[in-house]
Structure 1
Amino acid sequence: MEYGIGRVSGIDMDSLVELFNDAYSDYYVDVQVNPARLRGLIEREDIQVDNSFVAYEGQLPVGVVFLGVRGKRGYICGMGVRTSRQRRGVGELLMRRALSESRRLGLSSVQLEVVAANRRAIALYSKLGFVPVRDLGLWERNTPPPAQASGSVPADHGTRTRRDDVTAPLQTEVRVGAVRMAGVLPLVDAFNEIRPCWQNEAQSLVKMSDRLVGYVSHVDSAATAYVVFGDSAGGLYVADFAAAPRLVSAQRQSMCEILLSAVDRDVPRMSAKAFNIPLQGYQEAVLRARGFDLTLAQQEMVLCLKWR
């Protein structure tokens, strides 16, 4: 079967939404969209519609790949094939076209996330040269948050608390306060040895500033950790959190637990979620300590197009 290729900018939004929803109708998590939600995704993740592609069988759109661009980095924000046309090579065709476009644009790398259980997709990306970087997790909590540890969080923002319990590696005073997103975003780059996943990078978070809140912890005058979160009818959403890399792992965990405990105190929600938080480190330990369960594991992969 011969498939045509067109740019996403050339398809109307209603047809794009129908294609997207069909392609992801049997996905591991619910990612159904409407026009407003898809437009928001395109804006938030810097998807370039002139550099993203749709595959056609005659006049019927059968697959789509979204390419996001930030500087010299690219990101496959989504690649899906209509369910009735899967396993026919459409996905590989689209990926090769997106990678060709990435090279034409002079990008140095392209990254993506893939569900760890999706072996067929991982095999395709490996075939195209992608290599794994780290594991990420989707987390969920549908029970009341754990009780506050005595003295672990200040009673009011701006007050001080002393971490003297046996789980705290820092025998010092910690202040927790709400901070404007403009004051949190520099910490996203400073406190993560590897950038957060594309959706949680500062460039994405800044576009959601009107819906997100930032808390930052300090010891003396130095920032030690941050958390970015939002609240909605669906519950609490933890967008990202990290602690200063100058601290040891146990200290980083303790600082982040203080922050998430403060969030749970101030925004007590039965339901809470966190997306694409790194596994096998202090951030995973923080979420487990706050009662979250891992619901889906993903693998972050990258393809280097240029070597220094």
Structure 2
Amino acid sequence: MEYEVGRVSGIDLEVLVELFNDAYSNYYIDVQVSPDRLRNLIEREDIRVDNSFVAYEGRRPVGVVFLGIRGRRGYICGMGVRQSRQRRGIGELLMRRALDEAGRLGLDSVQLEVVEANSRAIALYSKLGFVSIRDLGLWERNEPAPWEEPAGPADAVGAALSGARVGALRLACVLPLVDAFNEIRPCWQNEALSLAKLSDRFVGYVAQLSSSAAAYIVFGDSPSGLYIADFAASSRLGAAERQTLCETLLSAVDRGVPRVTARAFNIPLGGYQEAALRARRFDLTLTQQEMVLCLRWR
């Protein structure tokens, strides 16, 4: 079967929503969208509809790939194929077209996230040259938050951390810390550029030591519960100190917004951030791999 490929900009939004929801109807997490939600996703993740693609079987759309662009970086913000048309090479066709487009645009790299259990997708991305750079976790807590304060290191450094002051700041004042405190920038949807577009929904807290910012957290509240968008501590501190400050911020959020249900998406695994979430009784519910393809070597 031959499939034609066209640009997302040439398809009606309602048709695109139906295609997307069919493709993700049996996914590992709920990612069903409405027209408004898809429109917001396109804006928030900097998806270029003129550089994203739809596969057609005759006149029927059967697959889609979204390419987001920031500077010289690209992001595959979703690639899906209709349930009835999977395992026919459509996903690879769309990915190759998106990567060709990224090369044509002069991008240096393309990144994506993929559920660790999705072995077929990981095999495809590896075949195309993507390499895994780290694991990310989706976290959830469905019980009242613990009220005890973080113990912290039992030494002079721990005593200094106990004097950390936590306060709310305008999100615009918090976002510069996202790039300053993370050795590897957060995943695409948690980057400062994404969070800035949700300033009406998110709040930022900062922990200060000796009048200097040492850690931050960005979070929001909704009818479905508390949402932790991102948090990190200064890389000038040791791992134990970073964990303690992040626990302090998470505890402050729990006191200010006491919710039984709380979630955190795509937080890096294997470091102080994971340890802080576990200390606040979050459970890991899903693991994703963050993968990157380098198109140009500097």
Same fold (TM over 0.5): yes
CA RMSD of superposed structures (Å): 1.2
Q: 2:197 maps to which residue? A: 207
Q: 1:230 maps to which residue? A: 220
Q: 1:159 maps to which residue? A: none
TM-score normalised by the chain length of structure 1:
0.94
Q: 1:156 maps to which residue? A: none
**Contact conserved, 2:153 with 2:240, CA < 8 A, in 1?**
no
**Contact conserved, 1:169 with 1:254, CA < 8 A, in 2?**
no
Distance in 2 separating the partners of 1:114 and 1:184: 28
Distance in 2 separating the partners of 1:224 and 1:175: 10
Identity, % of aligned positions: 74
**Contact conserved, 1:64 with 1:94, CA < 8 A, in 2?**
yes
1:171 Cα shift? Answer: 1.1
| Gaps in structure 2 of 5+ consecutive residues | none
Aligned partner of 2:158: which letter?
A: L
Q: 2:167 maps to which residue? A: 177
Aligned partner of 2:36: which letter?
A: A
Q: Deviations over 1:256-283 (max 9, x none)?
A: 0000000000000000000000000000
Distance in 2 separating the partners of 1:102 and 1:80: 18
Distance in 2 separating the partners of 1:54 and 1:138: 29
TM-score normalised by the chain length of structure 2:
0.98
1:168 Cα shift? Answer: 9.1
1:221 Cα shift? Answer: 1.2
Q: 1:107 maps to which residue? A: 107
* Large movers: runs of 4+ above 3 Å: 163-169
SS of aligned partner of 1:208 = coil
Q: Deviations over 1:71-105 (max 9, x none)?
A: 00000000000000000000000000000000000
**Contact conserved, 2:152 with 2:240, CA < 8 A, in 1?**
no
* Candidates 175, 187, 203, aligned match of 2:177: 187
Q: Check if 1:240 corresponds to 2:251.
A: no
1:1-308 equivalences under 5 Å are: 1-149=1-149, 166=154, 169-172=157-160, 173-308=163-298
In structure 2, do the counterparts of structure 1 residues 199 and 279 end up closer, same or farther at CA, with 3 Å as the change threshold? same
Distance in 2 separating the partners of 1:106 and 1:40: 26
Equivalent residues, number: 296
Aligned partner of 2:49: which letter?
A: V
Distance in 2 separating the partners of 1:14 and 1:29: 22
